[in-house]
C-alpha cells in the first residue's frame, strides 16, 4: 500500500499551537498590565504612603537568574551531544527554581512588612501580576522538567519534540523584565 507523506509545512503544528497559546497568554498579561496602569497612573502618590517599598535590588539579582536560565536553555539547544544538552537543561531548571525560591522568600518578607492583597490596589496589583507570572514559571518548570526527563531516558526522542516547552520557557523569561520594569521600577 502506498502511503503519501505529508508535505512539509512552513511551521509544524506543535509550534504553531504553542505560538497561538503564547499569544493568548500575552493578551491575558496585557489585561493585567492594563489594569495595573489604571491604578498606577490614576493614583496621586505611588506607592501609597505608609506601605512597604518593593525590594528592587534583590529582585534585580533574581531577574539575572531568570535571564541566565534563558541563556542556558539556548545553549542546550545548540549542543550536539545529548548529554551536554541535558547538562545545560538541568542548569536551566535549577536557575528557574532559584528564581521561584527567591520570589517566595521576598513575598514572605513583604507580608511580614504588611503588604497584603487587602491593603488596596498597591498590594493587589503587585500580588496579581507577580503572582501570575510566578505561577507561569512554576508551570514551565514542571513542563520542562518532564520534557528533559523524557529526553534523558528516550533514545528515539528528538530535541525538536520538546520545542513547545522551550518556547514557553522563553515566554516566561521574556515577560519578566517587562513586569519587573513596570512593577518595581516605574
Partner 1 sequence: MRKTGTISTVLGIAAVLLWSVSDVLAQGCAMCGTVGPTNAAAAAFNWSILFMVAMPYMLFISIGGWVVYKHHGHKLSGQREIASDTRSPY
Residues that bind partner 1 (CB under 8 A): 8, 10-11, 19, 23, 26-27, 30-31, 33-35, 37-44, 79-82, 85, 158-159
Count of C-beta atoms within a 10 Å radius of residue 62? 21
Q: How far is the CB of 164 from partner 1 (least distance, A)?
A: 15
Report the first-to-last Cα separation within the chain, whole angstroms.
65
SS3 at position 79: coil
Q: How far is the CB of 141 from partner 1 (least distance, A)?
A: 22
Count of C-beta atoms within a 10 Å radius of residue 158? 9
Q: How far is the CB of 103 from partner 1 (least distance, A)?
A: 25
Question: Closer to partner 1 at the Cβ: 138 or 157?
Answer: 157
Question: Closer to partner 1 at the Cβ: 103 or 151?
Answer: 151
Q: How far is the CB of 15 from partner 1 (least distance, A)?
A: 8
Question: Closer to partner 1 at the Cβ: 57 or 158?
Answer: 158
Question: Closer to partner 1 at the Cβ: 2 or 81?
Answer: 81
Compute the distance between CA of residue 67 and CA of residue 173 in angstroms, rounded to an integer: 6
Compute the distance between CA of residue 98 and CA of residue 80 in angstroms, rounded to an integer: 27
Q: How far is the CB of 37 from partner 1 (least distance, A)?
A: 4
Cis upstream peptide for 47 (omega within 30°)? yes
Do residues 29 and 175 make contact, with C-beta atoms less than 8 angstroms apart? yes
Question: Closer to partner 1 at the Cβ: 2 or 78?
Answer: 78
Compute the distance between CA of residue 180 and CA of residue 186 in angstroms, rounded to an integer: 9
Amino acid at each position: 500500500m502506498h502511503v503519501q507523506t505529508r508535505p512539509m509545512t512552513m511551521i509544524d503544528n506543535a509550534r504553531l499551537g504553542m505560538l497561538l497559546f503564547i499569544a493568548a497568554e500575552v493578551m491575558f498579561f496585557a489585561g493585567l498590565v492594563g489594569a495595573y496602569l489604571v491604578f498606577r497612573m490614576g493614583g496621586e502618590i505611588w506607592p501609597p504612603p505608609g506601605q512597604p517599598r518593593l525590594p528592587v535590588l534583590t529582585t534585580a539579582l533574581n531577574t539575572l537568574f531568570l535571564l541566565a536560565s534563558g541563556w542556558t536553555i539556548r545553549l542546550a539547544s545548540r549542543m550536539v551531544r545529548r548529554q551536554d544538552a541535558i547538562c545545560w537543561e538541568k542548569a536551566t531548571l535549577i536557575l528557574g527554581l532559584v528564581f521561584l525560591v527567591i520570589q517566595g522568600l521576598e513575598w514572605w518578607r513583604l507580608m511580614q512588612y504588611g503588604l497584603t492583597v487587602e491593603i488596596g490596589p498597591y498590594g493587589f496589583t503587585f500580588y496579581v501580576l507577580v503572582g501570575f507570572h510566578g505561577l507561569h514559571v512554576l508551570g514551565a518548570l514542571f513542563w520542562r522538567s518532564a520534557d528533559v526527563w523524557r529526553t534523558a531516558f528516550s533514545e528515539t526522542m528528538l530535541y525538536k519534540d520538546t520545542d513547545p516547552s522551550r518556547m514557553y520557557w522563553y515566554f516566561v523569561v521574556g515577560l519578566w523584565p517587562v513586569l519587573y520594569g513596570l512593577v518595581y521600577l516605574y
